[in-house]
Chain A
């Protein structure tokens, strides 16, 4: 079985969010980059767990990004990917990125394509669905559990207010979230092995962008907290009722 795991690079969860160039660019100076947590903790680790159960599983990683994504993809290899492809392109538009991933997947013969639930910087939750459509594959989103049973995928997915178990035939695209796997850290052996694992850089396929980012904005700062004495909590209830008018 061949699994393609989509890996993206995001600023660390504690990174300060600011913009430059007239608010058109993320201020990346001094920012620590990480593997998008959903891609690492859930999509990738689940793929590794499946490989541990069935050694014939092959894990290919794909990322769309510039050379600065290489340390991220090396870390993913250290965790347990077998080989990686980086499509050498900076894309801000989801359709463009999805087209690149679909381009890599098109003749790869993948049984499963795993993505994270969403990127924590772009928050599109879009790439998985787009890739599935471009490849005419089934798509199960927001999965919390994924197992193979007799050549079929059994997936538990989140639905509004609950969960649903469904069985899907391969090939299949799955977006992964909490529940799928337990996060792990790379060990020394993995890190050493990752150095010699193949990381292929390919040129992008021609693809359109359907949207373009005009500018970024930071939310208005809160005017400051109104503190209420712990001796009179009922005052809080009065304010929520009379001033904020929400209860």
Chain B
């Protein structure tokens, strides 16, 4: 028995969401009285023994060069084999793009129950039950897994990273991956920016900002705070901002520590993508804007007057 955590990497570097999954997995191992091990696919640059800091005892590394691009079919075959070799009974992924592609396949292959989008540690009283987010963040479901092997994908920003001292033993694992039938043509990354789903702070603008030329108000604050930028669907549809910034029911669902909404009305479909944020700040000139009901802090006022002062105050705070 062990808990096996999939340590997702990008261009040789372990992702932030992975540290959450590792910390979570270590805690699950503690609760179930077993050890936490990690599996890493493809060539890596980061030190893998360093994953011990998150409570991992062993890291199984499958350095195969064919695994740089995520192919769900190949990843599943390799991880299924690793589950067998390590005797893991719980497998954990981050509920990120890779986790969403691979965990369901693995679930079907191993006939292992899957809880996708977990937001809590398992409740072991009378079984193995995990709380997950449903109805686009408007409710939770407590789901029990009734199979010997269990798979969980952990929502991003749902579990805090826990670090302590420790080094993991790194073991090379030779598992040959089936040949990929996908041919990768090109990759384009929005460089230098925090990916929206991983960001701890997100500054977002709506139609209240009147036009793309006023996005400096969003970007200046984001730059000062190291935050990512987002927008409402209305803004993306008007082509003021790229579509990948659109959050909500039909865009990205995010759960940062801070969601700062400027000139967004807070329509129910918008809230569906952001209501799991820890602290919500709303700046809107309409006191009746529905967003205020979901907010922790709010300013009723004109964004064009309020925001430059907010930015100035943050600049002063950062300078100290």
Contact = CB atoms under 8 A, between A and B. Distances in A.
Contact of A163 (B188, B249, B313): B188
B117 interface: yes
Interface string A207-247: 01111111111110010011111100110111111001011
A58 to B, nearest CB: 24
Contacts of B208: none
Majority-rule SS of B interface residues? mixed
A160 B193 CA distance: 11
Contacts, number: 269
B289 to A, nearest CB: 11
Contacts of B113: 93, 95, 210-211
Nearest to B142: A214
A48 interface: no
Interface in A120-151: 120-130, 132-134, 138-142
A210 B296 contact: no
Nearest to A155: B182
Interface size on B, as a range, is 35 or more
Interface in A6-23: 11, 13-14, 17, 19
B57 interface: no
B297 A208 contact: no
Contact of A217 (B142, B201, B243, B275): B142
B181 A211 contact: no
Ordered nearest first, which 3 A-B pairs have the shortest CB separation? A230-B301, A129-B104, A210-B113
Given A126-B104, A160-B195, 4 more contacts: A122-B134, A125-B100, A210-B114, A236-B310
9 contacts: A121-B136, A123-B136, A133-B76, A138-B73, A138-B181, A161-B195, A178-B246, A211-B146, A227-B298
Interface of A: 11, 13-14, 17, 19, 37-38, 41, 93-95, 98, 120-130, 132-134, 138-142, 154, 158-169, 178-179, 208-219, 222, 225-230, 233-234, 236-241, 244, 246-247
